[in-house]
Structure 1
Amino acid sequence: MPYKRPKTDIVGDTGPVGLPRLCFRDHVKSYKQRLSFDEGLDAIAGSEVEVGGGGGGDAMDLVRMLISCAEAVACRDRAQASALLMDLRAQAQVLGTSFQRVAFCFVTGLSDRLSEWDEALELAYKLCPFIRFGHFVANESILEVLAGESSAHVVDLGMSLGLPIGHQWRDLIQRIVDRPGPPMRRIRLTGVGPRAERLESIGDGLVDFARGLGLELEFRAIVTNLEGLRPEDVKAEKGEALVVNSVLELHHVVKESRGALNSVLRTIHGLTPRVLVLVEQDVNHNGPFFMGRFMEGLHYYSAVFDALDVALPRYDTRRAKMEQFYFAEEIRNIVSCEGIARVERHERADQWRRRMSRAGFQPSPVKMGAQAKGWLGREGEGAHGFTVVEDKGCLTLGWKSKPIVTASCWKC
């Protein structure tokens, strides 16, 4: 059978160029600063008309888009930044007008900054157990639900955090192939996220990997943020065991109004999954008062950096890159951003229990403490000092008893 590229569906609210609708972050600048900023745009666009002989409207659009992209990068909104960069690359030209050329240089710089974030994320995955712990517990829970099933459908919210080769799903595919009993006839994987190119790249690699092991994997991408996800987008089929995976993702949907997360949880509940696996940072960075949020963040990230000291030498450049382009970006978002720009809205496990219960989910206790401790023991010296605790049906990875991430499972 000839290989078909993964199907990509574009869903969600889009603007005139097919990107998510853009909105300026008014909290970034005061009214006076915004007025000065707009006057500066007029001056740049006017200069472009004089020098380039026309296209002032296009120049203004390019400037505004470039500034929006810079704001998205500064506020850690990778989805918005990636979408804007895709359109900016088509307009900023190395052989264009004077402003198109300077815009090209700034687009390159913004793209490099995002690439540094991606590299730091990959380092965090390899060198810290936080994300791998979440993937381990999630896969064990999914395998338990899929035992004896011949057809399965996994929906991944955020698509493996954007990690380029889909580490979690390669492990799951290998485990499915290796398990005893009748082979699974078919598995579908649906990735939900805003970055079309990244989703397709991950999907292509996973399809090839599964084929090499003799497993039929169908990959489908839903290109949208979580708020834009609808039950009909998932295209669930009768007879398949459907599970939903969310690793360090749902906290991005938590807002002051709480309506966005409630809507997403209702959508997931409407899919009636066999299990929803939820892995989140176990700390309250979403309090209404700045000082409380600041102190919570200071204690939490002090523990994280203490753990990094044990895993890597102080002068290791990998540690520095991971801290400055991954964890420091989280800290900056928690401390300096407000409103829609504050996307790192971590909450404690008890808060998630209340949210999930209100959305109609029932807890499905995670009973694999011994397995998780065995997994941690195989992680080597880098895992020394970490603890695994079962509490109220959840499994928590901590650093010297300080909770870092908690995994829980939920059913309808």
Structure 2
Amino acid sequence: MGASPPSDSSSDESEYSETVLKFMTQILLEDNIEDKPCMFFDPLGLQITEKSFYDALGKKYPPSPNQYKPPSYINHNPDTKNRSHNGPKSNFTNTDPQLLGHLGEYNSSFSQATLPGHYVSQPDLQSNTDGLELLTRNFLLDTESMLQFRRGLEEASKFLPRSNQMVIDLERSNIRHRYNPGSFSKVSQQWEGEDQKKNHEREDVDLEEGRINKQPAVSAEENELSDLFDKVLLSTDALSTLGSDNKTYQQPQQANGGKNRAKKQRKKKDTVDLRTLLNLCAQAVSAGDNRTANELLKQIRKHSSPFGDGSQRLAHFFANGLEARLAGTGTGTQIFYTALVSKKISTYEIVNSYKVHLSVCPFKRMSVFFADQMIYKVAEKATSLHIIDFGIQYGFQWPILIQKLSKRSGGPPKLRITGIELPQPGFRPTEALEETGSRLGKYCERFNVPFEYHVIASQNWETIQIEDLKIDRNEMLAVNCLYRFKNLLDETFEIETSPRDAVLNLIRRMNPNIFVYSICNGAYNAPFFVTRFREALFHFSALYDIFDVTLPRENKERLLFEREFYGREAMNVIASEGLERVERPETYRQWQVRTKRAGFRQLPLDKDIVNILRSKLKEWHHEDFVLNEDNHWMLQGWKGRIVYASSCWVPA
């Protein structure tokens, strides 16, 4: 594939940066958005709702783990299956948070409510419980000593730590409520070297899975976009707008004194090594030493805060996860999390905070621009383009590609998008996804691009059949996934064929012209809790540090994003086990091996695209953002730590 002209790529990157933010503004301007739930992935939100229903029925939660997995739902309504840009109108209605990672992501259960006739279900694979139990027993046999305890289904095996533990006579503390912003200490931290000892504690695998959840469906009417907003969407002066946005967010921090003031504080006040405290607390929790864990948590709480610097905020949310784990997996975690998130957050607030995140953090914008450019090059002469998007959510990725296709010499191709997502709770599992198609259809109408849209709502993506995708071999086929593969289950649950490999094999059977995906580069998917905790600490340290440099501490969107995105994800990694733990990232090298094994060949990076992105990164963003290349992967990171990676593939 030939390289794109640098000038065109530069212009397109600028247009994307502007268009995606304005596309989000379109959502924020819609009526009644404050009353609509959010589509971003939330691993615990649905389970909390489930528990309230079980409490109302007087039944114990969680239910038996031997339940079936929920079916997939495919929209076969002729009015919505192939939605054209002038098709029937419907309101943009979201449902309970189900992301990304960041967005994005998977809840452990789904409503089995009676569905309209145009939804059909697919059988899903059953959990390999016997294989999982055998694997867990093998792990336990490799240890020198073992202490078995838990209640009921929450059996676990925990090992005593090899090092001496400080035991302090402290009674078990109650679950903490929302942190008082006026009580945190302004003590600085020094992030010293990490303990390099190998940990061999193996945590149990929790097989408990949520059950049926029913929520009333929400119906609404379509709101036409205003003429003023049309002008905003079509704005081409992207570079100046984006630059001013970044300056707006960064100037208040510079006025606060930045690093110089922090250095002065460190000279005057005692230092606290929060990283060491967190690791010691994780080891105590893993060993079942609740007294030591509670004492360490008390010290961490004293020196952490959701309103402090990056390290204090990180310690605060990691302490939440540790305390939830002490409360117990399953019901205890849900009760704790409900107490933490007592205030209902509107979709407007969530989307607005995510918009601010996109403005100051380039990772997702760079990944989307990279994917759109590669897809456009394949479809440069195609008469029909079919995009299968795993994890479409709001469809933020596609407005700039639609604009670019409309400018193609010879006219735009017919665009068909198949959006794959999790089914939403309620009686209309695909309603929010249909609204994404309706919004994209309006965008295509504005640019005279023929458009069709198809929805597949599936709880288990590996069970999707080729026939459901309606692939036409005369079309140019592109498969895309942005940061969502991390939520697929791995070999821990399906020893013979993991869901991750099954999805890659499904994509290989599609025989796409191009397969583009981006992943969250992380190593915190280890079954050993202490190892997983340490790796998560490294990863989230970089994410919280980014906001500490690019946004002022008092920025309310930053506070909300750190709590609702980073905080929830960290809670899931630390406090959950088994099927409840849905945050399972792997490194880009691991994904490279998986993808090659599935029968794909990796394409080299387009040097012009990478150079343009590197140039814009240097021009628009903080100098500590990095963009590198390795083995045909485009790597993005912060201060040398790789956070995200993108690559392109074709069938071998």
Which interval holds the TM-score relative to the shorter structure? 0.7 to 0.9
Q: Supply the distance in 1 between the matched residues of 2:89 and 2:577 (Cα, whole angstroms).
A: 37
> Quick check: 1:284–1:296 contact (8 Å CA) kept in 2?
yes
1:149 aligns with 2:382: yes
Q: How does 1:219-368 map to 2 (within 5 A)?
A: 219-225=453-459, 226-255=461-490, 256=492, 257=494, 259-367=498-606, 368=609
Per-residue CA deviation, residues 274-312 of structure 1 (Å, 9 max, x unaligned), is 111110111112122212211111111111111111221
1:190 corresponds to: 418
Partner of residue 211 from structure 1, selected from 432, 439, 445:
445
Corresponding residue SS for 1:284: coil
Structure 1 Cα separation of the partners of residues 572 and 364 of structure 2? 20
Q: TM-score with structure 2 length normalisation?
A: 0.47
Extract unaligned runs of 5+ from structure 1: 8-12, 24-28, 35-74, 92-105
Instruction: Provide closer, same or farther for how the CA distance between residues 296 and 173 of structure 1 changes in structure 2, counting only shifts above 3 A.
Output: same
CA contact (8 A) 1:134 1:279 kept: yes
Name the counterpart of 2:617: 376
TM-score by length of 1: 0.73
Looking at both structures, which has the greater relative contact order when contacts are Cα pairs under 8 Å and sequence separation is at least 6? 2
- Cα offset for 1:263? 1.5
Unaligned runs of 5+ in 2: 1-83, 91-109, 116-120, 127-148, 155-205, 219-337, 425-429
Q: Is contact 2:489–2:500 with CA below 8 Å preserved after alignment?
A: yes
Hey, what does 2:234 align to over in structure 1? none
Pick closer, same or farther for the CA change 1:153–1:110 going to 2, 3 Å.
farther
Residue equivalent to 2:427? none
**CA RMSD, aligned part only?**
3.2
CA contact (8 A) 1:186 1:216 kept: yes
Q: In 1, are the aligned partners of 2:481 and 2:517 still within 8 Å (CA)?
A: yes
Paired AA for residue 358 in structure 2: Y
| Cα 1:319/1:259, change in 2 over 3 Å | same
For residue 187 of structure 1, give the secondary structure of its aligned residue in structure 2. Answer: strand
Partner Cα separation in structure 2 for residue 409 and residue 354 of structure 1: 14
Q: Secondary structure at the match of 2:560?
A: helix
Query: CA shift at 1:117, angstroms?
Result: 5.3
Q: Please list the CA deviations of residues 225-265 of structure 1 after superposition, one character each: whole Å capped at 9, or x if unmatched.
A: 32332111110112110000000111111322352112111
**Residue 173 of structure 1: aligned partner:** 402
Aligned residues: 332
Q: What is the CA-CA distance between 1:197 and the residue it aligns to?
A: 2.1
Distance 2:554 2:603 in 1: 43
The answer to whether the 8 A contact 2:444-2:450 is kept is yes
Q: Distance in 2 between matches of 1:123 and 1:388?
A: 21
Structure 2 residue 362 is the aligned partner of structure 1 residue 129: yes
Deviation at 1:173, TM superposition (A): 0.5
Give, in angstroms, the shift of residue 30 of structure 1.
5.2
In 1, are the aligned partners of 2:85 and 2:444 still within 8 Å (CA)?
Answer: no
Higher Rg of the two aligned structures: 2
The 5 A counterparts of 1:41-80 are none
Equivalent-residue separation in structure 2 for 1:272 and 1:110 (angstroms): 47
Distance in 2 separating the partners of 1:229 and 1:111: 37
Alignment partner, residue 235 of structure 2: none
Residue in structure 2 matched with residue 409 of structure 1 by the alignment: 648
Work out the CA distance in 2 between the residues paired with 1:391 and 1:344: 25
Amino acid paired to 1:299: F
Output the amino acid matched with 2:411: P
Task: Output one character per residue of 1:354-408: Cα deviation in whole Å (capped at 9) or x when no partner.
Answer: 1111111111122332022134245x24x44211101100001111121010001
Quick check: 2:352–2:557 contact (8 Å CA) kept in 1? no
Does the aligned pair in 1 maintain the 2:85–2:451 contact within 8 Å?
no
AA at the equivalent of 2:477: L
d(CA) in 2 for partners of 1:2 and 1:309? 42
The answer to whether structure 1 residue 199 and structure 2 residue 326 are counterparts is: no
Identity of aligned residues (%): 27
Residue 371 of structure 2 aligns with which residue? Answer: 138
| 8 Å CA contact 1:120, 1:326 repeated in 2 | no
Partner of 1:4: 87
- Which has a greater percent of strand? 1
Residues 1:15 and 2:112 aligned together: yes
Structure 2 vs 1, CA of residues 135 and 110 (structure 1 numbering), >3 Å: closer, same or farther? farther
SS of corresponding position for 1:321 = helix
Cα distance in 2, alignment partners of residues 331 and 123 from structure 1: 20
The DSSP-based 3-state class of the residue aligned with 1:306 is helix
Q: Per the alignment, do residues 253 and 174 of structure 1 end up closer, same or farther by CA in structure 2, a change over 3 Å counting?
A: same
**What is the CA distance between 1:316 and its match in structure 2?**
0.9
Structure 1: how far apart are the matches of 2:575 and 2:588? 24
DSSP-derived class of the 1:287 partner: coil
Larger helix share, 1 or 2 = 1
3-state SS, counterpart of residue 381 of structure 2: coil
Shift of 1:133: 1.9
